[in-house]
Chains A and B, each alone.
Chain A
Amino acid sequence: MRHIPTIAGRELGAFFVSPVAYVVLSLYALLAGFFFLSSILQFNEIVIRLQQFQAIEQLQAVNLNDYVISPFLGVMSVVLLFLVPGITMGLFAAEKANGTDELLLTSPITIWDIVLGKYLAAAAFVLLMVALLGLYPGILFLYGDPEIGKTTAGMLALLLTGLLYAAIGAFASSVTANQIIAFVLSFVLLLLLLMLSVIADLGAAGGALGATGTVAELLRYLSTNDHFETMVRGLVDTADLAYYGAMIGSFLILAKAAVESVRWR
């Protein structure tokens, strides 16, 4: 276990000497700025309209959390879906392509050291991304009065979603030696995970899966969508936290098995 920081440190160093980290971070900041600005402008427009119509009741219901921060975090979680695979694609695939997996696997360290070390590096990067994003709601606190609790819950939801995406990306990288395949595979897996709730909704509307409510329930449970939505609404439920924990754990176990499988062949 004491080798985890060694592995994680090298991996983080590798992120920042390659252009990947900078490309991902700047794209993320750029998109965040764009979406933040557009949510603010939209909010502004709604407020102006409601004032014109003197709709006092509706005006009172409009707030920064529901009209700016929540939609903004929702969009940024989708952006993570595109960018996190870019961070994780090289975790294991690059080692195999480079032949450096031979160094790791013949060193006196366990496979968990390798997997957790690498995941920790990716997780630290995700944390950095989410922390950067925290600047935008921070601006709102300077000029407005959003609820701190709800905003924090939303940020936590985004962080957990990013951490889950990183675990899935790590798994995708562990099954191939090709970084492009790793990227595409993790992207598809993440999209599928998000879409599960859409499939469940189709079922609920009387589709093929509509007959059995339990299947729809299960799909909805597995999908990140509802857990994220609940938390962004400000409700931090242990059931949702457990979901993220269990999913991250499962994909790390899969990644460990995939790294180990070199030895089964």
Chain B
Amino acid sequence: MIEARGLTKRYGEIRAVDDVSFEIGAGEVVGFLGPNGAGKTTTMRMLTGYLPPTDGTALVAGHDIFEEPLAARRAIGYLPETPPVYPEMDVQGYLRFAARLRDVPRARLREAVDRALERCRLTEVRRRVIGALSKGYRQRVGLAQAIVHTPPVLILDEPTVGLDPTQIREIRELISNLASSTEGGERHTVILSTHILPEVEAICRRVILIHQGRKVVDAPLAELTAEGQSLEEIFARETARDVVEEAAA
């Protein structure tokens, strides 16, 4: 469903993302881990078409992000680190706008918005202005925006950051539901970036760990923790190394 081929992003001399490749099948839920500044957001932005890679390319639902950018973007639901909401709009107006941007046919607009509202449990605040909502609700609106066009691929960038424990649990449940629910016979493929490890353990079945712009781990969660190691230990071990210097040596 998602195939990254040697994705690289350079800012002058700095390699924010360096030759990252991976393949994610339909219905997989992948935790995208790494310390702050490891290149998680940059990688996601390249997949979603916000930033073009300096090198390499990616295929989303079979569409090359360079050759068929619009088709690739249509297949993605994306929640950036800060939910991209307009504070002055009301919730349903905003979702309607997002659905129209993603080519949801006019006849199915209402249905699509209603479903997204329901799934993100926003129905009771549908007429409220987004700027007046709490952070947790705003995050849910961001999530609703990502699923309103029922995309096969969901890319979520730190969806629980800055929320209180109750809200975190709610958002996690929501993501788990999305991941396990069927969408036209097919399950959502989810990439979830975070540095909160229990989140990965709770939701994901596979882990990709990025450190200093490079992929250092890519394995099923069960396999990683099979030898009794916790994800935290693995994370600490892998991110303690300086991969850039190792490669140079």
Most chain A CB atoms below 10 A, which of B69, B93, B101, B102:
B101
Chain B residues 35-51 with CB under 8 Å of chain A are 45, 48-51
Q: Is B71 an interface residue (CB 8 A)?
A: yes
Knowing A6-B97, A106-B76, A108-B71 touch, does A100 contact B102 (C-beta < 8 A)? no
Known: A100-B85, A102-B80, A103-B145. A108 touches B103 (CB 8 A): yes
Determine the chain B residues whose CB is within 8 A of the CB of A262 once the complex forms.
50-51
Residue A206 is within 8 A (CB to CB) of chain B in the complex:
no
Given A106-B48, A106-B50, A108-B103, are A14 and B97 also a contact pair (CB < 8 Å)? no
- Contacts A3-B100, A98-B87, A99-B82; A106 near B11 (Cβ below 8 A): no
Cross-chain contact B84 with A108 (CB below 8 angstroms): no
Known: A14-B88, A98-B84. A105 touches B74 (CB 8 A): no
Query: Given the interface contacts A18-B88, A102-B84, does A265 sit within 8 Å of B11 by beta carbon?
Result: yes
Instruction: Select one of A10, A106, A110 contacting B97, CB under 8 A.
Output: A10
Is B52 on the interface with A (CB-CB < 8 A)?
yes
* Contact of A263 with B73 in the complex, beta carbons under 8 Å: no
What CA separation (Å) do A109 and B74 show in the bound complex?
9
Q: Is the interface of A mostly helix, strand, loop or mixed?
A: helix
**Cα–Cα distance between A131 and B226 once the two chains are bound (Å):** 73
Give how many B residues have a beta carbon under 8 Å from the other chain's beta carbons.
Answer: 31
Say whether B91 faces chain A, with CB atoms less than 8 Å apart. Answer: no
A10-35 near B? 1/0 per residue, CB < 8 Å: 10011001100000000000000000
- Within the assembled complex, what's the spacing in Å between the Cα atoms of A257 and B120? 37
* Residue B78 lies at the interface, judged by CB distance under 8 Å to chain A: yes
**B45 nearest CB across to chain A (Å):** 8
Is A104 an interface position by the 8 A CB rule? yes
Collect the chain B residues with CB atoms within 8 Å of residue A109's CB: 70, 101
Residue pairs across A and B with Cβ atoms less than 8 A apart, 17 shown, are: A3-B101, A6-B101, A13-B93, A14-B86, A14-B89, A98-B85, A100-B85, A101-B84, A102-B45, A102-B50, A103-B98, A106-B50, A107-B101, A108-B71, A262-B50, A263-B52, A265-B11
Mark B residues whose CB is within 8 Å of A: 11, 45, 48-52, 69-71, 73-74, 76, 78, 80, 82-89, 93, 97-98, 100-103, 145
| Closest 9 A/B residue pairs (Cβ) | A103-B84, A107-B101, A108-B74, A108-B70, A106-B48, A99-B82, A108-B73, A100-B84, A102-B80
